Amino acid sequence: MNKVIWSQLMWYGEVEIEQIVQEYCRYYFGAGTARQAERFIYRLEDLILGGENGETAGRLVLQADEISGQMEDWARQGWRWKLLDARCRIQASIDLLFREGENTECMEHFRNAYEMVQNELNLHREGVSLQPWIYAPSDTALNIFLGLADVVNLTLDQQTNAGAASEKE
């Protein structure tokens, strides 16, 4: 979404952000659910940036399910909606884990959403993955999101670990 907004602002200059988001939602999510998707995007952005205004990620998951149920199949199956939906579910998992501590069901929800994002990125562009910035197993990614692990060059660490393991053999 950010790339779309910045591209439009640089191309047209005077266009309002709200107009860009409306057009985006209408085009990628369908006229029937465009307004709901637009509100969802703003609420998710507020939640992620910390300005929740009383919203919780759990309530946004319910809204995502409602919107998804009303969307045309082509929009629901589109990668743009899948990634927004997954980001919402990832945030809900993280929030719940922060509030309640370790929770096996919640960790599984996180893993499923995280792996869906990885699979979706790999599905649409050959060779593209989360690798440039955070290629890690879902458990490692969850620890990073929860602040239990530092973000380092995970790819380099994996190669180093793999190399060290093969040298021991």
Domain that holds residue 18: 2-129
Distance of alpha carbon 62 from alpha carbon 121, whole angstroms: 24
The angle subtended at Cα 113 by Cα 109 and Cα 119, nearest 5°, is 140
User: 96 and 157: one domain?
Assistant: no
User: 36 and 69: one domain?
Assistant: yes
Of residues 102 and 55, the one with the higher pLDDT is 102
pLDDT tens figures, 7-37: 878 888 888 889 889 999 999 999 999 999 9
Of residues 142 and 43, the one with the higher pLDDT is 43
pLDDT tens figures, 81-98: 988 898 888 888 888 887
User: 45 and 77: one domain?
Assistant: yes
User: 145 and 104: one domain?
Assistant: no
Number of domains in the chain: 2
User: 15 and 41: one domain?
Assistant: yes
User: 85 and 166: one domain?
Assistant: no
User: 59 and 118: one domain?
Assistant: yes
User: 80 and 145: one domain?
Assistant: no
98 CB-contact burial (10 Å; exposed 0-12 / middle 13-18 / buried 19+): exposed
What predicted TM-score, i.e. pTM, was given to this entire model?
A: 0.69
pLDDT tens figures, 95-154: 888 777 777 888 888 888 888 877 776 655 555 544 444 456 667 767 766 666 665 544
What Cα–Cα distance (Å) separates residue 50 from each residue in 55, 58, 84, 85? Answer: 10, 15, 17, 18
What dihedral do alpha carbons 10, 27, 67, 47 form, nearest 10°? 0
